Amino acid sequence: MPARNVKGNVQAQDKILYVANKLGLSSLKYMQATTRVIYDQSVTAATQHTLFEGAAGRAFPLTNLGANGNQFQVDEALLVEKIAFFIPDADDGQNFAGSTNRSFKFDLIIGNKTVMKDVVVEAGGQQAFYNDGTAASLVIDLEGVGILIPPQVEFKLNVKVMNTATRESVSSRVGCYLFGTGVLLNFNTSI
């Protein structure tokens, strides 16, 4: 198979177009995408968590994924551009507490591939580009790169909670948001 000739920089949204073209949806480039936010949380304190896996068994407000759980429907995809962590302050998952002494080390797994490994997000670290009151953000920005979660492929995050100063494991609740560009891959055709 001949090598692909790439001219210029490949944009993050080009990944969505590539998947759409492989699925036979050449008209996607003329459609409007949307901003999408998905989240999941574990309200049981532990040192390690697996988020998004088993989300179909959790109700809102613990997650907003619904019955399909940790995979999108056949006509959905998400280009992840930001990953944010938070600490739920109660078992009901309705509120969260700020964190100035927690770090999160995580792996993002899509299908059977680890696409981000041992990534650390720290309170007040270089990725913290805004403050929420007195609590520094726990957001990592993937803008310009983006990671595509295609339709009908399971995804999850393995998260380890650590003390920011000592790097020791800490038992804590944890939640995660995935922000990005969402698309509905419309397979309808008119004759």
Query: What does the block give as tokens for 186?
Result: 């419309």
Residue 178: its pLDDT value, please? 93
Tally of residues, the chain: 191
Over residues 1-40, the pLDDT tens digits come to: 344 554 556 566 677 677 666 766 665 666 666 788 999 9
How many other CB atoms are found less than 10 A from the CB of residue 113?
9
Distance CA 7, CA 178 (A): 30
Q: Which pLDDT tens digit goes with each residue over 56-98?
A: 998 888 899 988 889 988 778 888 988 888 888 888 877 777 6
DSSP β-bridge partners for residue 140: 83
- Cα dihedral across residues 121, 118, 177, 158: positive or negative: negative
User: CA–CA separation, 116 vs 99, rounded Å?
Assistant: 23
